[in-house]
Amino acid sequence: MQKIKVRKIGNSLGIILPKESGVTEGTELDYKKNGSIIELNLEDADKAHDRNLIEKSFEDFKYDKYYTEDQVAEKFAKYGWTK
């Protein structure tokens, strides 16, 4: 288990999460305290992030900016995308 230092931020306390946590600036996390255990839940933040990506991707259709299936297969083949 990795240790995280609690720091004073104004009149509050805060923690700095390591970059590897995948949490980005502005992300809102669900917080829950069970006895001496503090739980930070990313589930809703992940869903909101994914929803935002999907909505943003559909904006391109308004301007006829999209790829055909062949173009996607060619562009993303290195990531394992196939037709």
pLDDT at 37: 94
pLDDT at 14: 93
pTM value?
Answer: 0.52
What is the rounded average pLDDT of the residues 1-18? 91
> Are 48 and 56 contacting, i.e. CB atoms less than 8 angstroms apart?
no
Cross-strand pairs, 30: 41
pLDDT at 35: 96
Q: In this predicted model, what pLDDT tens digit does every residue of 24-83 receive, in sequence order? A: 888 889 999 999 999 999 899 889 888 888 888 888 787 887 888 888 888 888 888 777
The two tokens of residue 28 are 């809102």
